[in-house]
Amino acid sequence: MELSNVEQHALWNGAAGAHRLSNPDQDDAEVFALQPRLREAAAIAPGERVLDVGCGTGQSTRDAARAAAPGRVLGVDLSAGMLDRARERSAAEGLDNVGYEQADAQVHPFPPAAFDVAISQFGVMFFADPVAAFANIGRALRPGGRIAMMVWQHGERNEWVVAVRDALAGGAATRSPDRISVSPFALAEPATVEHILGAAGFVDVSLLDVREPVYYGRDADAAYEFVSGLWSTGTALAAMTLDGAERARLRLRAVMAAHDTGSGVLFDSRVWIVLARRP
């Protein structure tokens, strides 16, 4: 049975979400180096109305609220727990021009032409029907409104994918993460992105190649704990013998130690920043 959008988010992002909820001072720490690149590309101006799709614990939403003030920002996500944390952080930071709503952006009845810009930080890769989903988001934008979103490039171009996969496999053949149904790499191919957004009614589609490190923890132990909690890691280990799983865990620990810079465990990453606008 094909997994729903919310189930796919839970499988791939459940551990990251739990990490954010249990470590309130580390919201979105994994992609901290990437966040300024999306903010720069979105170019949110004072007074603009902003929609943040898949906002999670709301770091990107709060950044947008500061840039848009006195304009308002709405963050939407499927996770009630993450949204509760987002509200707490927004209140603590004294932001009064931001709101959050639990909603599925694929089908939610947004007010038409209510926003100047839509943004998303890794929140749009699991749509069951991406053309319909982006068309729905497009209807929420005013004529001439724009979208700026960050998505992963192919898994083979992301060291965090290859290093963990190879550590678990130990030289055995593995299935590419780009090819499985529950995949954060659904928008990795530029031609696919251009086709989907064009069919959804967007124009002037462009993709910016961005390379920045991702952060997996303050040290090798924290990074190992984080990666061990991922659904994909658990699934791989569960398919092994007890001895094989133990050897894989040792290799995984070694990989985390090898990437410990003394200022955190870092892996290379490649993303696309996708820009487009509504006619």
Q: Are 182 and 3 in contact (CB under 8 A)?
A: yes
pLDDT at 10: 42
> What's the rounded Cα separation, in Å, for the pair 74 and 139?
15
- Global pTM reads 0.86
Question: So what's the pLDDT on residue 74?
Answer: 98
- Residue 44 DSSP code: -
Q: Return the closest-CA partner of residue 57 out of 98, 106, 8, 24.
A: 24
Neighbours of 43 (CB within 10 A): 12
- pLDDT tens for each residue of the chain, 279 residues long: 333 344 344 444 443 443 333 343 345 667 778 889 999 999 999 999 999 999 999 999 999 999 999 999 999 999 999 999 999 999 999 999 999 999 999 999 999 999 999 999 999 998 989 999 999 999 999 999 999 999 999 989 999 989 999 999 986 545 545 444 447 899 999 999 999 999 999 999 999 999 999 999 999 999 999 889 888 788 889 999 999 999 999 999 999 999 999 999 999 999 999 999 999
How many CB atoms sit inside 10 A of residue 85's CB? Answer: 20
212 strand-pairing partners? 269
What does the pLDDT read at residue 28?
62
* Residue 172, pLDDT score: 59
- Cα–Cα distance between 104 and 9 in angstroms, integer? 12
Q: Which amino acid is at 163?
A: A
- For 66, 165, 198, 205, 251, the CA distances from 201, given in Å and listed in that order, are 29, 37, 5, 11, 47
The confidence score (pLDDT) of residue 151 equals 95
pLDDT digits (tens, 9 = 90+) for 154-188: 989 999 989 999 999 986 545 545 444 447 899 99
Return the pLDDT at 24.
38
Express each pLDDT in 244-274 by its tens digit: 999 999 999 999 999 999 999 999 999 999 9
- Whole-angstrom CA distances from 231 to 17, 26, 269, 277 are 12, 20, 20, 35
DSSP characters for 186-239?
A: TT-SHHHHHHHHHHTT-EEEEEEEEEEEEEEESSHHHHHHHHHTSHHHHHHHHT
Q: Which amino acid is at 258?
A: A
Q: What is the per-residue pLDDT for 31?
A: 77
5-156+181-215+268-277, what's its fold?
Rossmann fold (3.40.50)
Domain coordinates in residue numbering, the chain: 5-156+181-215+268-277
DSSP codes of every residue in 216-229: EESSHHHHHHHHHT
